[in-house]
Structure 1
Amino acid sequence: MTDARFPGLLEREVESTAIQDAVKAASQGHSGLLLVEGPAGIGKTRLLRVARAAADELGLNVARAVGSELERDFAFGVVRQLFEPLLARTEHSEQDALWEGPASQAQEIFTTTTGLTAGDFAVLHGLYWLTANTSHNRPLVVVVDDLQWCDIPSLRYLVYLLPRIEDLSLLIVIALRTGETPTDALLLQQITANPVVQVLRPRPLSALATALLLDRALPGRVEQDFAAACHEAAGGNPLLLCELARTIVADGLETSTASATRVADLGPRAVDQLVAARLARLPQECIALARAVAVLGGHTDLTLAAALGGHDLTTALEAAAGLERAGILHVRYHDGLLTLSFVHPLIRTAVYGSENLADRATAHLRAARLLADAGATPERIAAHLLRVTPTGDGDTVAMLRAAAAQASRRGSPQAAVTYLERALHEPPSDTELSATLLEAGQIAEAVDNDAAVRYLRQALALTADPLSRAEIARLLGQLFLLLGQFEKAAAVWSEALAELPPGQEDLARRLHAGLINLGVLAPGLAHLRAKASQLRDLPFHDSLGGRELVGLIACWEACRGEPMAIGHAHAALSDDILITQAPGGSALPGAYFALVPADDAAVIQSIETAIAQAYRRGAVRDLVPALAYRALARLRRGDLAAAEADARECETAIDSSAMAVARPFLGPFLAHILLEQGRTAEAEAALTWMGLPDPLPPNGPLFFYLEAQARLLRTQGHLRHALHTALAAGDRFAALDGSNPAICGWRTEAAQCLHILDRADEARALAAEELTFARRWGAPWALGRALRVNGLVAAKDDGLEFLREAVKVLENSSARLEHAKALAHLGAALRRAGHRRDASPHLRQALDLATRCGASPLAEFARDELKAAGGRPRRPELTGPGSLTFSESRIAELAAGGATNRQIAQDLYVTVKTVEVHLSAVYRKLGITSRAQLPAALRSPRPANAPSRSVGAR
């Protein structure tokens, strides 16, 4: 019935045991997530105390927090509750270890100083490493009550943490009240539906447990019928039973069978009614203090509550003692202060609701002023101002704008927008209105593009200065572009250009760059593409705008297959100015759009720099395009595992943000990666994930989708549908003046379908046309692919020559996977021509390359052809430096240079466990047993002669 160590718990043995087992497992280095779920008053908070007590008993680190209705808009409120006490009790000399590495990115949350603005992603990554550092030497138990009221940034921290929890010595125990509207239902679902979660649902107390509880709570003997009446009235809810017991005592009701019928009259009364009735019997000083604490929320300083309640300290202390005796408040010392808190959130709700709306608003305004006088942070003050009736007060506007600035610096745009929306309702004065709208529009871009457009349009209408109007218009046009409203973007940018005073070369180029980008995306804006032809004759302007313009011109030229795009793209990337000053714009991915299909050797380094910068800044908008293009570059190089890792991380970032505009790029890239691995169903899911309507919209780079869909259909054997889709991709690409097969190889896709359908002449005509364009562009991947497909569809003798040329073009290129395809098809063609001896070396090399790339279908094809040629497939090279994947090689080089696993994980933005898994594979492939052997093994053409083993050393 009860646990001896926790005598207050009735019928909670199963839940208590599960919690204690999880804490014990955490003490041994195992991670986990426990969710205690149920209605208000069912005993969730008591069970969380079991977790804390068990953790304290085992000497674990414990961090605790409680979600609050009042503070659900307070950015990182729950995170601060968790970590501020931990940081406070950590010796100053040891705090540096907690902030080591990327953890420092989260310091802004816990300070009141102004620093560099950190994007939300950087802050979340910093919090992950703060958690990792905190649990590094001693396991950590994180306990969060009332998760349904947790602020959004703290919820996002938990969501970010869960996929990485396996790497930490961490147990998370959370309580969730059912039947409430949560702060963010989607984020909450991502936590509660996580595969690692273990759900505990305490049941209502039985009649026997109810009788035991009443025996403890009520004086005298409780007769059976009376206990049964109480059980029915409370429905087995422990909190309601306790409140019912207190009301019985306060009313002087006898606990006999004769009084059982009177209990039924109390039963329908909810907790708030029972508390209100009990509160009404207390002195007025108690009522005033209880309401002050209800307004202030959390652990309230007695001094502040006394001031808000209108009492001196002596009177307030006496009132607090009376409220504690009545079972309404706890009076405790917290961080050296005498603090007041409610015994249960339902009690706080009851007291808060006992005051009318007008009086509550007045109390929140007084609370805000008291906190301001006490030097509280703007966000703490703003939590109260959100509940104050707008009156046009300038001080309120100023404080809300300050809170928004603080929230934005701390990586919480959601909270910042909430504060600015409230400021706009005040409203600001005429002189402040435009600036406030601009702030709201700029910050809302990270949260709600539609809202951002609304704010920026209002700001533009209120702004007279041409330069300011042009800058607002530039931001507004970018939002229209992200929303797919290309005509509106073109109109706002064109109008801004027309109004721009002479001499504004940088801003003019930025606006022109945006218009060219629209021309590349929208078939109906051909006049903007024509303008690109004129603008590329302008001299290069050494500015941000100059780089943006030349970057988008390079994108346009690449679509057309003009080799000069490569030089323009390099000019755009010069000095990394686009990366540092405009990482979220279109010019940077525009330059990558040109260079990745050109097999450019330098583009990977630029993308790596952009990714590192995006992680430091923490902006998802910066990270997504860089990850997507690195995935494509790795696909073209044949590093399928690393390409998929980038694509999956990019997919997660898109799903957690408002970056739907990136889906038309990433979905097809991921589909191609999966098709190369033979994972057809997953490739189909990747295209479905894009969420495209039927029929397809007219705008956007949907030729990527159609080309990938055509390939998928051909793989599935739906040849006529595949052909139709490939031709549709060509129509889409041609409508944007596109002809470059390195960007959209629709002709070779259609040619392969036609070839299988025995429409040989049509297949050869399309393949030949593709080859002409590929020779003009000149990049090995596209040229090798075009040559290979020409070899497949050509007449018998001509086919061998095309395939030999494909192998030659690709053999010294970075396009390993396409080289493997050319080798395999050359070998197969030689075998069919009767040259079996000549075929075998090509097929063996193809098999080895395909295996190293992870291209299972190609490896199987090469193996079957090799057997048919009479060759014996040797085991592909799975050892030595040449067998390492891109990711394994990079981690091995860092480890050989002396970096620890934690340092590598921090540098590469992965978990320590990921590093350990990769190093295990490296040790096995190189045949070594220690880090000291890595430098020599990486230089050796053959594996070292030593037994292999798995590694997990830090």
Structure 2
Amino acid sequence: MSLVAREVELGAIRRLVAGEPGEGVRALVLEGAPGIGKTSLWEQGVAWGREHERRVLVARSSQAETGLSFAGLIDLFDGVDSDELDAVPGPQLRALEVALYRADPGDRPPEAQVIALAVLAALRLLSEHHPIVVALDDVQWLDSTSEEALAFVARRLRRERVTFLMTRRPGRRTALERALPDDHVDHIVVGGTTLAGTREILATRLGLRLPHHLLRRVHETTAGNPLFALELGRQLATRDPGTLTGSLPIPDHVDDLLGVRVADLERPVRRLLLAIALEPDLRVSQLREHAGGAALDGGVEAGVVTVDGERVRVAHPLIAAAAQRQASQEELWELHRRIADVVAEEHRRVLHLALATPEADEALARRLDVAAAVASARGATRLAIDLAAHALRLTPPDVVDDDRVLALGQHLHDAGEKQRLTDLLGERVLALPPGAPRVAAYTMLTEGVVTGSDEINQLLEKALAEAGDDPRLRGLALAFLAENEAVVEVQGLERADARASEAVALSEHGTLDEQRTAITTLTWTQALRGHPVDHLLRRHQGLSADGTYLARHPQRVAGQRHVWRGELSVARQLLTDFRDASEQWADAYAHGRLHLCELELRAGGWDEVERMLDEWAQSTDSALLQWPMYERCRGLLAAGRGDVEEARRWAGRARDMAEQTGVRWDWLESSRALGQAALLAKDLPEAVRHLGAVWDHTVREGVLDPGAFPAGPDLVEALIESEDVDGARRVNDTLADRAGHQDHPWARHGARRGAALLAVAEKGYDDDLGEDLAAVAAAYGELGLAFDEARAVLALGRAQRRAKKWGAARETLERAVAVFDELGSPGWADDARAELERSGARRSATEGLLTATERRVADLAVEGLTNKEIARTLVVTVNTVEFHLRNTYAKLGIRSRVQLAAALQGTDDQQP
């Protein structure tokens, strides 16, 4: 088929799949609305790849398959024989064979990570012989298990000759796109075709030629969408253009227009179309047996289905949707029953039988129970939900359905379906039998839609009451109670730790999953109490990992503890591994990203924090972290950059939300951000109030790790500046004591910094104290804590300036300015500059006025680049560009881009 007015898109595709193959992974994403032509472009790329001796692996996703397990991988490896993969390691190959339904799963289905490793090994093996093109159509409907495996692969491909060619509808980037290196991915938005393009499409595809005024109306009505233009053209082909004096003969909605086309099809073709819509994996042989060869040929001739070897697909998803809307319920039931007789896989068979069965059927419900459990074991959580929901629906009134309610609840919990989980169990919990069923329901409900910590506590106290003297159930309830006390409310850590220890002891009577849950809770309480947790991590790892719910895994706690201690390199590896391993669990992945964001907030990696927060804000899993975690991270970022007003806005919002929900963790962190912003703004009473509240709460409630909520050193500084030396000494002594008992690197350096500042306040500055502060700054730098390092340098410079050590002060403060500028902390850099001016240094009109990054952003803005284009050029986020422009405007005393060029020229003219 000829593609018109697509020279740019075709050129990019040809370079990708038909050019000289290079080393390293590459990708091209074609984004566009339904019917816009992206699939036709993609098909041309597939054809070119085959023509140029690429090994093309193809997967066409559909909305009907999003819940199926590894449907995309099954498509991709459809033409790959097993003997081609003999060199894949045995355990991995068996896992892949199970995922592809070429082998029975046995008693222990393979883990998703092993399957992903097998896919990686397979692509590496195949690429040794030919360059590989992984062609994915409608990737937004790629099933989650396949997408997670491919994302795992994409992050690990290096020099292999593998190319991804993908199409998707407009929306946020998929996990697979995010996994690929940004500089290796090209993105093209496929827009509507031109008026000339519409003319050529109608002429070449339909032989239809229209008067110019009517052609323009068609183009405007369809917005250049080729599919819609063709559908409208088919309607116009039956009319005399001279009679079209009014509106065009089309329904108001394109869906209705497609429905007219479907209604005009012969009945056998319509039934064939409906069958494919209900089961996209039907093959040519099955369809010929099901509907007859004439119906299949008629569908191809009518242009509603296409055939590629044994694969058959609907020409466009909207046509399939139209076929389903037009079918009667009785027709749908009949077709589902007939499809169930054709498909081979048990989970598909029972799903179609369920869709064909309106009345209760216990025998079918039992088959659905088994299929749901298998789907869950394979990682197909969405499919498991569908199967389990049908099992519950088909349960006869005289059959007890408690186990099915809880099974469906568990699948909803695993998928992060909070509202559905609450709707299901909230209405049924009291109808469940006392004991274990109610304990399970109450604990699962804590992961549903809750108003705050009080509601969680009430649910968990009910679970504890239901547990009675049963050791297993009591241990489970205690583990959840202790976790809520320690991690949500951050109170009564000694009691929470005792409860967690009892839960671990009692969990020996429970399942492996219950043992892992208890160990993870104890890891939290022990870490917050300042104790090592490596032994708990090893104990957890000694248990079988099958079915582990990663949101409750001690690895994330261990990683955070290393962050608190300033051991960032170890923390980064642990938390990165945790995030990458948790992609199949939406809420666990969200927590992994949160912890990496917190790590970069400690390190001063503001641009990386900004990038992660932007991704977080755009992603659907943001709702999985229902507390104000995002808002308080924004507040801490603004405080780190030195944007006082932004810090107060975000952190104030987070604290208000935390007070409403009773989530003390976010209250403490947002208060710390407010205190840090107040310290920068020289609002010492506010700084002491906020930082003191954090310190007092953690001391009172038994949070012994001083780095968990690291307010101590800032509070010492604020108290000294407020001339409360005794109060500062009490805080610093406690900090030093805990640093010594815990061998805590970050706290040790913070206490040493505080001791030096206290000595300066009491007896004045001397060179020995200066050396102490310089050593603290260097120690922070060795740990990778660049922001703490810059703060220590600023404190040293301020002490030198107050002691009238003018030369040393200027040298130190110039270094502080440079470090803050490099970090992207202009508010703190300005504070250092103010100290520098007080030391006698003269600020020139240009030097230090704009940072290097601010000047680069300003220059690009003057060149006419949009904020998005500037962000792309500098490889930063749009928010970062906006932040630097706001600072630039403030420094230059201007309000808009219109004034920017002249203001920059004015500063340049004043340079010596």
Whether TM exceeds 0.5 here: the answer is: yes
1:772 to 730, 733, 739: 733
Say whether the 8 Å CA contact 1:578–1:588 is kept in structure 2: no
Say whether the 8 Å CA contact 1:105–1:122 is kept in structure 2: yes
SS at structure 1 position matched to 2:675: helix
Give the C-alpha shift of residue 574 in structure 1.
5.3
> Which letter does structure 2 place at the counterpart of 1:317?
G
> Which letter does structure 2 place at the counterpart of 1:769?
R
Q: Which residue of 2 aligns with 1:699?
A: 663
2:45 to 51, 55, 63: 51
CA distance in 1 between counterparts of 2:315 and 2:583 reads: 39
CA distance in 2 between counterparts of 1:547 and 1:240 reads: 55
Once structures 1 and 2 are overlaid, which stretch shifts more, 684-693 or 769-778? Answer: 684-693
CA distance in 1 between counterparts of 2:127 and 2:117 reads: 15
Q: Which residue of 2 aligns with 1:305?
A: 287
Q: Which residue of 1 aligns with 2:757?
A: 792
CA distance in 1 between counterparts of 2:365 and 2:97 reads: 27
Once structures 1 and 2 are overlaid, which stretch shifts more, 56-65 or 141-150? Answer: 141-150
SS at structure 1 position matched to 2:728: helix
Instruction: Mark the CA change 1:784 to 1:206 in structure 2 (over 3 Å): closer, same or farther.
Output: closer
Say whether the 8 Å CA contact 1:329–1:343 is kept in structure 2: yes
Say whether the 8 Å CA contact 1:596–1:629 is kept in structure 2: no
Give the C-alpha shift of residue 370 in structure 1.
3.5
Instruction: Mark the CA change 1:590 to 1:511 in structure 2 (over 3 Å): closer, same or farther.
Output: farther
Instruction: Mark the CA change 1:507 to 1:799 in structure 2 (over 3 Å): closer, same or farther.
Output: farther
**Does 1:363 find its partner at 2:335?**
yes
> Which letter does structure 1 place at the counterpart of 2:733?
T
SS at structure 2 position matched to 1:411: coil
Say whether the 8 Å CA contact 1:706–1:725 is kept in structure 2: yes
Q: Which residue of 1 aligns with 2:895?
A: none
Say whether the 8 Å CA contact 2:55–2:131 is kept in structure 1: yes
Q: Which residue of 2 aligns with 1:279?
A: 265
Instruction: Mark the CA change 1:370 to 1:739 in structure 2 (over 3 Å): closer, same or farther.
Output: closer
What pairs with 1:206-221 in structure 2 (closer than 5 Å)?
206=196, 209=199, 213=203
SS at structure 1 position matched to 2:53: coil
CA distance in 2 between counterparts of 1:363 and 1:272 reads: 21
Tell me the number of residue pairs that the alignment of Structure 1 and Structure 2 aligns: 805
Superposed CA offset, 1:497-538 (max 9, x none): 34446472x553443233233333566976x96575698799
CA distance in 1 between counterparts of 2:270 and 2:527 reads: 72
Superposed CA offset, 1:536-573 (max 9, x none): 799977958789768757755776xx7xx526x46644
CA distance in 2 between counterparts of 1:154 and 1:293 reads: 24
Q: Which residue of 2 aligns with 1:878?
A: none
Q: Which residue of 2 aligns with 1:433?
A: 401
What pairs with 1:327-406 in structure 2 (closer than 5 Å)?
330=306, 333-334=309-310, 341-342=313-314, 345=317, 348=320, 352-371=324-343, 375-378=344-347, 380-381=348-349, 384=352, 387-388=355-356, 390-406=358-374
Give the C-alpha shift of residue 78 in structure 1.
4.0
Instruction: Mark the CA change 1:742 to 1:332 in structure 2 (over 3 Å): closer, same or farther.
Output: closer
> Which letter does structure 2 place at the counterpart of 1:359?
E
CA distance in 1 between counterparts of 2:596 and 2:490 reads: 30
CA distance in 1 between counterparts of 2:680 and 2:109 reads: 48
> Which letter does structure 1 place at the counterpart of 2:272?
A
1:74 to 47, 63, 68: 68
Say whether the 8 Å CA contact 1:820–1:850 is kept in structure 2: yes
CA distance in 2 between counterparts of 1:554 and 1:632 reads: 19
Say whether the 8 Å CA contact 1:67–1:150 is kept in structure 2: yes
Say whether the 8 Å CA contact 1:36–1:173 is kept in structure 2: no
Give the C-alpha shift of residue 62 in structure 1.
2.3
CA distance in 2 between counterparts of 1:471 and 1:690 reads: 34
What pairs with 1:579-594 in structure 2 (closer than 5 Å)?
584=550, 588=554, 592=558
Q: Which residue of 1 aligns with 2:80?
A: 87
Say whether the 8 Å CA contact 2:69–2:143 is kept in structure 1: yes
CA distance in 1 between counterparts of 2:426 and 2:499 reads: 31
SS at structure 1 position matched to 2:345: coil
**Does 1:31 find its partner at 2:16?**
no
Say whether the 8 Å CA contact 2:112–2:149 is kept in structure 1: no
Q: Which residue of 1 aligns with 2:486?
A: 520
CA distance in 2 between counterparts of 1:809 and 1:14 reads: 57
Name structure 2 gaps, 5 residues minimum. Answer: 841-912
CA distance in 2 between counterparts of 1:245 and 1:645 reads: 50
Instruction: Mark the CA change 1:131 to 1:398 in structure 2 (over 3 Å): closer, same or farther.
Output: farther
Say whether the 8 Å CA contact 2:668–2:709 is kept in structure 1: yes
Q: Which residue of 2 aligns with 1:898?
A: none
Give the C-alpha shift of residue 661 in structure 1.
4.4
Give the C-alpha shift of residue 203 in structure 1.
1.6
**Root mean square deviation of aligned Cα:** 6.0
Say whether the 8 Å CA contact 1:122–1:617 is kept in structure 2: no
Q: Which residue of 1 aligns with 2:413?
A: 445
Give the C-alpha shift of residue 774 in structure 1.
1.8
Say whether the 8 Å CA contact 2:679–2:718 is kept in structure 1: yes
Q: Which residue of 1 aligns with 2:104?
A: 113
Instruction: Mark the CA change 1:143 to 1:635 in structure 2 (over 3 Å): closer, same or farther.
Output: closer
Superposed CA offset, 1:70-110 (max 9, x none): 434434434432x123534xx7244545x799999766542
What pairs with 1:239-258 in structure 2 (closer than 5 Å)?
none
Give the C-alpha shift of residue 704 in structure 1.
2.1
Say whether the 8 Å CA contact 2:148–2:584 is kept in structure 1: no
CA distance in 2 between counterparts of 1:277 and 1:597 reads: 63
Instruction: Mark the CA change 1:622 to 1:509 in structure 2 (over 3 Å): closer, same or farther.
Output: same
Instruction: Mark the CA change 1:346 to 1:750 in structure 2 (over 3 Å): closer, same or farther.
Output: closer
Say whether the 8 Å CA contact 2:753–2:776 is kept in structure 1: no
Say whether the 8 Å CA contact 1:599–1:781 is kept in structure 2: yes
What pairs with 1:611-626 in structure 2 (closer than 5 Å)?
612=577, 615-616=580-581, 620=585
Say whether the 8 Å CA contact 1:31–1:171 is kept in structure 2: yes
> Which letter does structure 2 place at the counterpart of 1:37?
G
SS at structure 2 position matched to 1:445: helix
Give the C-alpha shift of residue 770 in structure 1.
0.8
Say whether the 8 Å CA contact 2:73–2:146 is kept in structure 1: yes
TM-score, structure 2 as length reference: 0.68
SS at structure 1 position matched to 2:531: helix
CA distance in 1 between counterparts of 2:312 and 2:504 reads: 69
Give the C-alpha shift of residue 448 in structure 1.
1.6
Q: Which residue of 2 aligns with 1:261?
A: 243
> Which letter does structure 2 place at the counterpart of 1:514?
F
Q: Which residue of 2 aligns with 1:752?
A: 717
Instruction: Mark the CA change 1:412 to 1:803 in structure 2 (over 3 Å): closer, same or farther.
Output: farther
Instruction: Mark the CA change 1:774 to 1:553 in structure 2 (over 3 Å): closer, same or farther.
Output: farther
Q: Which residue of 2 aligns with 1:575?
A: 539
**Does 1:710 find its partner at 2:675?**
yes
SS at structure 2 position matched to 1:566: coil
Q: Which residue of 2 aligns with 1:912?
A: none
CA distance in 2 between counterparts of 1:63 and 1:35 reads: 17
> Which letter does structure 1 place at the counterpart of 2:293?
L
CA distance in 1 between counterparts of 2:538 and 2:213 reads: 81
Q: Which residue of 1 aligns with 2:189?
A: 199
Q: Which residue of 1 aligns with 2:872?
A: none
Say whether the 8 Å CA contact 2:199–2:215 is kept in structure 1: no
1:494 to 450, 455, 461: 461
Say whether the 8 Å CA contact 2:58–2:135 is kept in structure 1: yes
CA distance in 2 between counterparts of 1:149 and 1:540 reads: 45
TM-score, structure 1 as length reference: 0.66
Q: Which residue of 1 aligns with 2:55?
A: 61
CA distance in 1 between counterparts of 2:321 and 2:601 reads: 56
Say whether the 8 Å CA contact 1:631–1:646 is kept in structure 2: yes
CA distance in 2 between counterparts of 1:263 and 1:511 reads: 74
Give the C-alpha shift of residue 199 in structure 1.
1.4
CA distance in 2 between counterparts of 1:689 and 1:136 reads: 56
CA distance in 1 between counterparts of 2:784 and 2:209 reads: 84
Say whether the 8 Å CA contact 1:421–1:440 is kept in structure 2: yes
> Which letter does structure 2 place at the counterpart of 1:363?
L
